[in-house]
Structure formats: C-alpha cells, structure tokens
C-alpha cells in the first residue's frame, strides 16, 4: 500500500514538471526518489563543472547519510529499509507541498480488494462477531500499519481515549501542595528561588535585600545554598558581599544548608571564601560539617 501511494505521488510529480519549485525542494524530492527506487548512491562523483549532476549526486548522498543516522537513533525503526523510509519521506514532501496531489485508492488493485472487504458487513450469524464488526465499522484508514509505524509519532486528537492502553494507570506523582496556588510572585520569592537574572533584578531595585531576612531568618544566600545554585551563591558572595556567616532563627549558617541539602560543589566554594567561620554551631549544637551524610 505504501508503494502504491509512492507510485501515485511520483507519477503526479512527473506529470506536473511545470510546477515552479525551488531547486532545494526539487533536489530533496530527487534524493528521496532515488533512494526509494535505486537505494544507496553507487555512482562515481560527477565532475565539479557539471553543476546539476553534482548537486543531484550530493543530495542523494546526503539524504542517504541522513536516513542512516536517523535510523541509528530510533530504536523503533531498525527494521525499516532505506527505501521504505525514503518513500515515506517523498510522500510527506508531496503532501506538505500541497501541489494538488491526492491519493485515489482506485488507482491500485490491492486497494480495490481491501475496500470491498471493508465496505459493508453482513450478519455472520455470530452475535459477538456482528457486534464487533458494527463497532469496528468501515476501515476509513487508508494508511497501512507498516507505514504508520515508520512515520514519526504524532498524537492525533481524540484518539488517545481509545481504550488502547486501557489497563495502564498513569504514573502518579506527588500532588502539589495547596499553598502553591496562593503563592504571590513577589520580587523576594523569585530572588530566593528563581534564576540568577531575577536575583540581579531584585537587588538592583533594592540593594538592602542582600542583608534582609525572611520570617525564618534566612537571607538570600541561605536560600541559594539550600537550592545548590552555585552561580547565585558566587554572585551574592563576590559581587554583593553577602554575609557568609549569617545565622537564621535556628542558628544555621548558609554552610549548614549546603551540608544538609548535600551540595558538595557549593560546600567547597563556601569553605574557600575568606572569613568563613566553620566553627559556628546551630541551636541544636551541630556544626555545618556534622550534617554531611
């Protein structure tokens, strides 16, 4: 069936040579056609002054290499031959170009057979089978399984609810906490948890943020350390001179957060900052390094 569609599409293109297509499109179609009908290019490289021949030869070679590469990357399609993929590619180009080609199933004998097979169902005397036929109805789908499998997967609206993966349950993940819904997008919140750009913007607007603390006594540096955001940690320490020994309401320094959350790279950096005090205990008496897992 794929071959029928390919023949029909290529016959259409041959009959419509007057279509004013860009040469890149013509070359792409040429390369797909050659790969589909003759396979890999074995001809010697034409002389460079034969411009048209050279361009065609190159297109053919490049298309072949591209298909082989794609084939190697898609574990689904290792069984497809080069020619199958080239035919599909050719058909898709002709479809996408919208030059007026439509596939008429009556062009081919195989399709005539299949359409009579599918047009009507009559009672078979087996009630279950009749019900099934009634459900399945007429197969309007003219694209063969082989071709569908070789095509890239495109979800089709309305089809995902087919009971196709009926016994599958989605992979449940943790429901979002309700409070997320209420979170206001304030400057401080995005500086705490967002990107380095949002941090810079917030501090530019209000430089006092660098030493400000939130309701848990945490500074921006505490937050950056908790999240392991090394770029923000460096900027806060080196550019904005944030206090590397600041203690929050539980007595924890930025380094405590680094060890509790487990960010070795950030830990190495903080310990290298001049003036860092490794001897600060939090209110439970723990030094930062004692939280190392």
Partner 1 sequence: MSGSDKRNAAPIDNKALTAQRFEQELANAPADVQDKLRLLLQQMALAGVGGDADAGSSSKVPKSMEDHKFWKTQPVVKHDEVVEEDGPIEADVPLEKVRATPYPLPKEFEWTLVDVEDDKEIKELYELLTLNYVEDDDAMFRFDYSAEFLKWALLPPGWKRAWHIGVRVASNKKLVAFISGIPQDVRVHDNVKRMVEINFLCVHKKLRSKRLAPVLIKEVTRRTHLEGIFQAVYTAGVVLPKPVTRCRYFHRSLNPKKLVEIGFSHLGRNMTMARLIKLYKLKAETSTPGLRLIEERDVAQVKQLLNRYLSGFEFAPNFEEEDVRHWFISRPGVVWGYVVENEETKEITDFFSFYSLPSTVINNPTHSTLNAAYSFYYATTTSLGAEPSAEATQQKKERLSALMTDALILARQNDFDVYNALDLMDNALYTEDLKFGPGDGYLHFYLYNWRCRAIETDKIGLVML
Q: What angle do CA 93, 97, 98 make, to 5 degrees?
A: 125
* Number of shown-chain residues binding partner 1 (CB under 8 A): 66
CB of 61 to partner 1, least distance (A): 27
- Tell which one of 95, 146, 201, 243 touches partner 1 (CB under 8 A): 146
User: Binding to partner 1 by residue 181, rule CB under 8 A?
Assistant: yes
- Selection from 77, 89, 71 nearest residue 33 by Cα: 89
- For partner 1, the closer of residues 7 and 117 by Cβ is 117
Q: How far is the CB of 116 from partner 1 (least distance, A)?
A: 12
Binding mask 63-102 for partner 1 (x = CB under 8 A): ------------xx--x-----------------------
Q: Could you give the CA distance from residue 162 to residue 230 in angstroms, rounded to a whole number? A: 47
153 touches partner 1 by CB under 8 A: yes
168 belongs to the binding site for partner 1 (CB under 8 A): yes
Q: Which is nearer to partner 1, 261 or 287 (CB)?
A: 261
- Residues of span 229-248 touching partner 1 by CB under 8 A: none
- Which residue from 104, 180, 185, 197 is in contact with partner 1, where contact means CB under 8 A? 180
281 φ, ψ (degrees, to nearest 5): -95, 145
What separation, in Å, do the N-terminal and C-terminal C-alpha atoms of the chain show? Answer: 62
Nearest approach, Cβ of 191 to partner 1 (angstroms)? Answer: 14
**Contact between 262 and partner 1 (CB under 8 A)?**
yes
Q: State how far the Cα of 263 lies from the Cα of 224, in Å rounded to an integer.
A: 11
Dihedral sign for Cα 246, 252, 256, 261, please. Answer: negative
Question: Which of 205/216 has CB closer to partner 1?
Answer: 216
Which are the contacts of 151, defined by CB distance < 8 A and separation ≥ 6?
88, 92
Q: Which of residues 13-72 bind partner 1 (CB under 8 A)?
A: none
Tell me: does residue 227 bind partner 1 (CB under 8 A).
Answer: yes
CA of residue 181 relative to chain centroid, distance: 27
Q: Which of 178, 257, 179 is nearest to 216 (CA)?
A: 257
Check residue 117 for interaction with partner 1 (CB under 8 A). yes
Of 36-44, 100-108, 171-179, 232-240, the segment contacting partner 1 by CB under 8 A is 171-179
To the nearest whole angstrom, how small is the minimum distance from the Cβ of residue 236 to partner 1? 16
Cβ within 8 Å of residue 20, ≥6 positions away? none
Residue of 158, 230, 246 whose CA lies nearest to 196? 230
Cβ count near 60 (within 10 Å): 21
By CB under 8 A, residue 166 contacts partner 1: yes
* CA proximity to 91, closest of 10, 11, 1: 10
Binding site for partner 1 (CB under 8 A): 75-76, 79, 114, 117, 126, 128-129, 131-132, 134-136, 139, 141, 144-146, 148-149, 151, 153, 155-183, 189, 214-216, 218, 223, 226-228, 252, 256-257, 260-262
């Amino acid at each position: 069936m794929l071959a029928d569609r390919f023949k029909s599409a290529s016959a259409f293109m041959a009959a419509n040579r007057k279509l004013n297509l860009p040469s890149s499109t013509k070359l792409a179609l040429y390369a797909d056609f050659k790969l589909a009908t003759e396979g890999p290019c074995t001809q010697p490289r034409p002389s460079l002054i034969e411009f048209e021949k050279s361009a065609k030869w190159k297109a053919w070679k490049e298309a072949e290499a591209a298909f082989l590469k794609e084939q190697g990357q898609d574990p689904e399609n290792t069984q497809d031959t080069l020619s199958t993929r080239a035919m599909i590619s050719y058909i898709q180009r002709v479809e996408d170009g919208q030059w007026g080609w439509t596939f008429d199933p009556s062009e081919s004998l195989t399709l005539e057979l299949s359409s009579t097979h599918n047009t009507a169902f009559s009672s078979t005397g087996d009630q279950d089978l009749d019900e099934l036929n009634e459900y399945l109805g007429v197969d309007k789908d003219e694209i063969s399984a082989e071709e569908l499998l070789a095509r890239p997967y495109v979800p089709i609206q309305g089809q995902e609810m087919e009971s196709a993966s009926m016994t599958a349950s989605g992979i449940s993940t943790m429901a979002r906490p309700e409070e997320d819904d209420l979170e206001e997008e304030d400057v401080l919140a995005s500086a705490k948890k967002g990107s380095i750009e949002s941090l810079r913007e917030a501090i530019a607007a209000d430089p006092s943020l660098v030493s400000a603390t939130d309701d848990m006594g945490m500074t921006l540096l505490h937050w950056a350390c908790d999240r392991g955001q090394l770029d923000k940690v460096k900027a806060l320490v080196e550019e904005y001179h944030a206090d590397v020994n600041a203690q929050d309401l539980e007595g924890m320094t930025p380094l405590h957060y680094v060890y509790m959350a487990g960010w070795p790279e950030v830990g190495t950096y903080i310990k290298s900052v001049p003036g860092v005090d490794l001897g600060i205990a939090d209110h439970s008496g723990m030094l930062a390094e004692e939280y190392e897992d």
